[in-house]
A and B are shown apart, each in its own frame.
Chain A
């Protein structure tokens, strides 16, 4: 069974608008962490934001915020005020506490920001 599901293969957003990238996850581990990474066309993986399963508040990092809905097992990434440089592939990943810290990745969403 897929542990991380990203249902949007591709998304478009107009520059300066906000966009939400979807991520749902599946785990029976009560302790886990959720991560979002950005992968530009150059290929490097850039860490964006982290949410722990016991965190009471949604994580925020600058223009990035994570809409964490634990009961629904979703961890959507919200990018506000999109910029052309946000065009990239975005990956959602999960770490289960019982699982040596390795990350399980979704298939990714390609985001294109239009001028």
Chain B
């Protein structure tokens, strides 16, 4: 079946602009995660959605970052007033249930000029 998809694959923006990143999880997967990967680094957890439960936002680095998920489908990660330090690859993952193996999308490469 189809894997996790993300769009856009690449995004270049100017400092101060807002950006919206999209994630389509694997169909039927109830858990969805967003991670950030800076160049040459490991992944940092940002936010987690599980069904209708309140999301775990503990990894969001500032209030400029927010995310939504519609039911058990699409999620969008929004970064307001982008800064150069927001430049990174943003990866989305989904799993059938919380705690099970996470399968990753191809990521969105964000460059803030």
Contact = CB atoms under 8 A, between A and B. Distances in A.
Contact of A91 (B43, B103, B106, B109): B43
Given A44-B106, A45-B91, A47-B102, A102 B33 contact: yes
A93 B99 CA distance: 12
B76 interface: no
Chain B interface, >50% SS class = strand
Interface in B82-111: 89, 91, 93, 95, 98-107, 109
Chain A interface, >50% SS class = strand
A47 B103 contact: yes
B98 A100 contact: yes
Given A43-B89, A44-B106, A93-B43, 7 more contacts: A45-B93, A46-B104, A47-B103, A97-B99, A101-B50, A101-B99, A103-B45
Interface of B: 31, 33, 35, 41-45, 48, 50, 56, 59, 89, 91, 93, 95, 98-107, 109
Interface of A: 4, 33, 35, 37, 42-47, 50, 91, 93, 95, 97, 100-108
